[in-house]
Amino acid sequence: MSIESAAAIAAAATTGHEITGVERVRMPRRVWVGAAIVTAYVLFAVFAPLIAPFDPLEQDVVNALASPSWVHWLGTDELGRDVLSRLIFASRVDLLVGFLGAVLPAVVGTVLGAVAGFRGGWVDGAIMRVSDVVQAFPTYILIIALVFVLGPGVTSILVAFTLIAWVAYARLIRTEVLRVRSLDYVAAARASGLPTRRILWRHVFPNSVGQTLVYLPSDIVGATLGLAALSFLGLGIQAPTPEWGAMIAAGQPYIREQWWLSTVPGLVVVGFGLGLSLIGEGIEEWTRK
């Protein structure tokens, strides 16, 4: 029996029933709904220059704070810039930072967690002690402090997210690796004389990263909200580049009369988060079958 066959049998025994091909393919409906929402956001970001009716940086102070009309569907901001165009172009920055701000920590944390769980000993102890230090402080306080030191900008934000958010993935993957490495097919691989590195990256690692896919969508939401919060505080994407959090902050002084300046960007953030949350919940439900 091959190592792959033993892995399949062990997985079936763990779940308590045989997983058919139909069960693997059939995703919950919420996944498709969430995917449709996220796809719409991605399309707006990719085709922003073709979709946006105006240049997002073009100012028209004569028409500043104009109400929604047939010309400006969502009105204009305090500098006369078209709000709809800025929302569409802002999706480029927010989606990029949200995606990379979750994927980079996931990659770093997954690799470190796999090494810690499989190697054990002082390697495991060192990685876990570093994670303990990071977890001793509130996540967003550390991110704000790092961005303050590094300076505002996309690179600084991504570095801050990566240095802080890897911990959760490392602990999660370490736990999974500790479970997988005790299975029979890993013992068979060791007995066959396969190199330790090959056992880890070919047999243990692929069977341990499934939970990462469950948590990744929620972390993309967290990174997007984190960027919005940083921009709201003036530490995120700097003017005049359009960004959802910065637009919410810019519209705050006019919330009584021009409420849409802050409300609409807020709803856009909520919609993106909703789509990713549906995907994450659906994947979690699917993996439990």
**Cα–Cα distance between 226 and 236 in angstroms, integer?**
9
| pLDDT single digits (tens) 185-223 | 777 877 777 777 777 777 777 777 777 877 888 899 999
Q: Is CATH 3.30.70.1230 the right assignment for the domain spanning 89-231+267-287?
A: no
Q: Write down the pLDDT at residue 12.
A: 42
Per-residue confidence (pLDDT) for residue 3, from 0 to 100? 40
Q: What pLDDT does 97 receive? A: 94
> Are the beta carbons of 33 and 278 closer than 8 angstroms?
yes
Helix runs in the chain, H state only = 3-15, 21-25, 29-46, 48-51, 83-119, 121-135, 139-150, 154-180, 184-191, 196-198, 210-232, 244-251, 260-287
Structure tokens of 109?
A: 């944390």
Side-chain half-sphere exposure of 289, counting CA atoms within 13 A: 16
Domain ranges in the chain are: 89-231+267-287
What pLDDT score does 278 carry? 92
Length of the chain: 289
pLDDT at 181: 78
- Backbone φ and ψ for 145, nearest 5 degrees, come out as -65, -45
Phi, psi for residue 76 in degrees, rounded to 5: -125, 160
- 87: tokens are 């929302």
pLDDT given for residue 210 in this prediction = 75
Tell me, what's the pLDDT at 10? 42
Query: Between the ranges 10-14, 118-122, 125-129, where is the mean pLDDT highest?
Result: 125-129
How much is the average pLDDT of 147-176? 92
Asked if residues 38 and 275 have their Cβ atoms less than 8 Å apart, the reply is yes
Contacts of 248 (CB under 8 A, 6+ apart): 228, 232, 262, 265, 266, 269
- Select the more confidently predicted residue: 133 or 13: 133
**Could you give phi then psi for residue 262, rounded to 5 degrees?**
-100, -35
Q: Residue 94's pLDDT is what?
A: 95
Q: Is 253 helix (H, G, I), strand (E, B) or coil?
A: helix
Helix, coil or strand: residue 76: strand
Q: With cut-offs at 50, 70 and 90, classify the pLDDT of residue 25.
A: low
Report CA-CA distances (Å) from 267 to 15, 240, 257.
40, 21, 18
CA dihedral of residues 107, 113, 118, 120 (deg, nearest 10):
150
* Residue with more model confidence, 214 or 5: 214
In this prediction, residue 195 carries a pLDDT of 78
Mean pLDDT of the chain: 86
pLDDT at 95: 95
At residue 126, does pLDDT exceed 70?
yes
